[in-house]
Amino acid sequence: MQRNGGMGGGGGQPWVFRRVRLTWLSFMLFFILVFFPLIAHYYLTTIDEAGGPDKRIFGPRPGGELCEAKHVQDLCRIRESVSEELLQLEAKRQELNGEIARLNLRIEACKRSIDSAKQDLLQLKNVISQTEHSYKELMAQNQPKLSLPVRLVPDKDDPGLPPPKSARACRLRSCFDYARCPMTSGFPVYVYDTGSYPWGENIDPLVKQAFAASVKSNIYVTDNPSIACLYVVLVGELQELPGSPQPPPSDLEKQLRQLPYWRSDGHNHLLVHLSRKSLTQNFLYNVSTSRAAVAQSTFLEGQYREGFDLVVSPLVHALSEPNFLEVPPQVPVKRKYLFTFQGEKVESLRSSLLEAPPQSFEEEIEGDPPADYDDRIIGTLKAVQDSHLDQVLVEFTCKNRPRPSLPTEWALCGEREERLEVLKVSTFSLVIAPGDGQLIASAGCGMRLFEALEVGAIPVVLGDHSKLPYHHLIRWSEAVIIVPKPRITELHFLLRSLSDNDLLAMRRQGRFLWETYFSTSETVFGTILASIRTSIQVPAAPIREEPAQEIPHKAGKLAGTDANMADNGDLDLGPVETEPPYASPRFLRNFTYTASDLYRTWNRPPGPFHLFPHTPFDPVLPSEAKFLGSGTGFRPIGGGSGGSGREFQAALGGNTPREQFTVVMLTYEREEVLMNSLERLNGLPYLNKVVVVWNSPKPPSDDLIWPDIGLPIVVVRTEKNSLNNRFLPWDAVETEAILSIDDDAHLRHDEIMFGFRVWREARDRIVGFPGRFHAWDVNHQSWLYNSNYSCELSMVLTGAAFFHKYYAYLYSYVMPQAIRDMVDEYINCEDIAMNFLVSHITRKPPIKVTSRWTFRCPGCPQALSHDDSHFHERHKCINFFVKVYGYMPLLYTQFRVDSVLFKTRLPHDKTKCFKFI
């Protein structure tokens, strides 16, 4: 074992020595590699620092002494080579960085080009789609466009019409020559001079003077009798002169036949008898008028020819104009007296005034019919007065001598001013029809009706056999309560059961009828002609437009599009129309307004006196009609299948055919602000043109360069500086939709497009952005204008709002002149006036869109609205307008409109209608 162990120990020694030797070599190698460079570096550094500048080894040495040593020259060459390579690499790196930057720019440009190409492709697809629609519409039109009908021309000899069985049987179809009145004739009317026939000298001078003034101002009157459709003869009212009795019927007939254009039977003639007094003798009763129609206030049943003769209102204001500011307000609804009646029946009061109560109508009807219901009416009304359940005023005897009246008619008491004072405190006014059932219309009842409507007392007509003025056209049940006389015992209950809403609606409708048809001599004469014209189905004369006197201007470079103004994400705001701007269709419903839409034409403002190119009340087709034969002009979303953002923005959709809108911008000597505002309209879809109303007497600067936005900019010169010019119906505006905007209002394109789409669904209302409201001042019992943030509003400022051009006509030509005068006086309140007008016509509040409440214009001059007096003037305007209208027409609304998919979570493959709305 020892031998084995020794042998084992001796055999392992070489391995140990080798291991020790390897360790020593490793240590030495480590020492050389680590410590030697450090020592050398220290030594060289020390020597370099200890020597002078000329003894340094690594410092710069003159004459290249460092490179004299051969072993250093290689190192220098290597250093120089490396330095050059490094410089080359740095230059290469910089070159590559520049190339990368250029490529990045090209990539971004390519991306923009791709996006632009996508947009162009989308727009091109939309244009192709629009063109396909237009082509299909043209190919689908199986009928040519309407042209004027062949004009009816009367025979030169004018042999007349076949005679009717009797003059009492005259109707339009048998006694009126339609050949003289084509639909396109314009309804020319020839009025005889009162001096051309003998009895004209006996006509009341006031009536003649008022009639002559009305004829002079009427647009239908012509001096050429050969083209006339209608011939008007003023036959009364005759003045009562002592010792000059009325001419006998035979003389009147002879004088009528001697009229130069009577043509043997008087066809197409109208005999007008205007009454100024409650007692107007019916002197035409026994006169044969042949085929001439009669228009007067008094008719007997056997005399009146239904559908041919006219029951007209009396001429109360012959020469004087009614003062609308003196008309009492329509509220409070309930007045001091529930109802009033003042009158006296001169012939026979019989037992009417006795205190004993009358027998009931049931008892009387069971026996013989009563000869005169008026006795029972008197007894019943006196019983209501004595019951003191309600405060009523009934007087059956006049304090002074009663006004003259016809037999069986209730005479008027006192003077007109005295009667009006009583009616001003009356909720209802009783109008008792004449006891004679044959007297279907009388001047006395007409006077009572006129006075009641004038001051807002709701007329209650006792007697359903009475014929009210123009009863075949006016729906009197909306303004008058007509009760048969046998229901007199139920009258008190009936009047008390009416709600305040119904009462105010009737009072407001009565005010409209009085103002429109009865208030002045011009309206009386105009209503007579309008009634005849409507009966023979001739459209009214088109309402006039304001001619635009364009100011020449020069356009400069193409305007750019502000990205902030047009940003809607990845969606286009609408198809770019390649065809020229197209106007809205005009006068498509001329015959409809005249023949089919009689109710609205005659019973809603503004009445039948004008023909409008278009209105916001035109009927809407059902949804399937656009796909089944009536799709001309419609652009349904997704072709009818609907869709989200992309499909929505590609077409207008909605319930009406495609259309455009016109921007009307009012400006006054703010050229820079105006130019900036015009530039912001560049690229706006569905824009037809821009009409700039230059409200300054000073013309634009000669060197002013106007932006080229790709659409017409019409600069209109005005006669004077007036805010009313904003709403003039300029003939340059060829679209139904108008965007009224101030020159300093900032609106994004998507906001404008959203407002336009909303307006298309509410065409009869103002659709805009800044909202305001009217507030009640409890301390002063009046109205205040308020612009504070509120959850309820009633006005939308027209400095940024859509409205229908129809309201521009009404504002300029129909709205009371006193309102426009106040706008000119204060240079303020035109937007309030327009809100009043639209709410009065529609009885609806405006619509506010988006969250905007104010507009900020950085750098713009201070506006008039910043003046302290601005709000005080607007307070006064509101209360003045209420006085003119008779009530507060503004209505509150508690919502605003946003797009359908606003704040709605959508799948990744769907997009919203608008990005920010």
SS3 714: strand
Residues in a beta bridge with 272: 234, 295
| Cα–Cα–Cα angle for 90, 95, 99, rounded to 5 degrees | 145
**Tokens (6 digits) for 387:** 């019951």
- Output the CA–CA distances (angstroms, integers) from residue 643 to 128, 575, 638, 651, in the order listed: 19, 16, 6, 11
Among all chains, which residue has been given the structure tokens 């509040």? 845
Residue 648: which of 386, 388, 906, 338 has the closest Cα?
Answer: 906
- Cis bond before residue 816 (omega within 30° of 0): no
Ramachandran category for residue 822: left, alpha or beta (phi over 0 → left; psi -120 to 50 → alpha): alpha
DSSP 8-state symbol, 656: S
**Tokens (6 digits) for 899:** 């797009």
Report the length, in residues, of the chain. 917
Instruction: Report the C-alpha dihedral over residues 638, 643, 646, 647, rounded to 10 degrees.
Output: 10
Alpha-carbon distance of 682 to 186, in angstroms, equals: 43
Alpha-carbon distance of 728 to 726, in angstroms, equals: 6
| Cα–Cα–Cα angle for 153, 154, 160, rounded to 5 degrees | 160
Residue 886: which of 531, 456, 583 has the closest Cα?
Answer: 456
Among all chains, which residue has been given the structure tokens 């009409």? 691
SS3 906: coil
Alpha-carbon distance of 499 to 494, in angstroms, equals: 11
Instruction: Report the C-alpha dihedral over residues 206, 212, 213, 214, rounded to 10 degrees.
Output: 110
Burial class (CB in 10 A: 0-12, 13-18, 19+), 916: middle
Q: In what order do the strands lie in the sheet with 782-786?
A: 782-786, 771-777, 795-796
Alpha-carbon distance of 256 to 245, in angstroms, equals: 18
SS3 712: coil
Alpha-carbon distance of 202 to 153, in angstroms, equals: 37
- Output the CA–CA distances (angstroms, integers) from residue 723 to 228, 283, 796, 857, in the order listed: 41, 53, 17, 20
- Output the CA–CA distances (angstroms, integers) from residue 730 to 52, 219, 556, 725, in the order listed: 98, 21, 26, 9
**Tokens (6 digits) for 500:** 């305040």
CB atoms within 10 A of CB 241: 8
Question: Can 567 be counted among the known catalytic residues?
Answer: no
**Tokens (6 digits) for 689:** 């043109």
Q: Of 374, 742, 831, 868, which one is the catalytic site residue? A: 831
| Cα–Cα–Cα angle for 735, 739, 745, rounded to 5 degrees | 155
Alpha-carbon distance of 522 to 516, in angstroms, equals: 10
Residue 489: which of 652, 377, 351 has the closest Cα?
Answer: 377
Q: Which long-range contacts (CB under 8 A, 24 or more apart) does 529-533 make?
A: 529/187, 529/189, 529/218, 529/220, 529/230, 529/232, 530/607, 530/608, 530/609, 531/310, 531/470, 531/473, 532/230, 532/270, 532/293, 532/310, 533/187, 533/220, 533/594
What is the set of active-site residues? 831
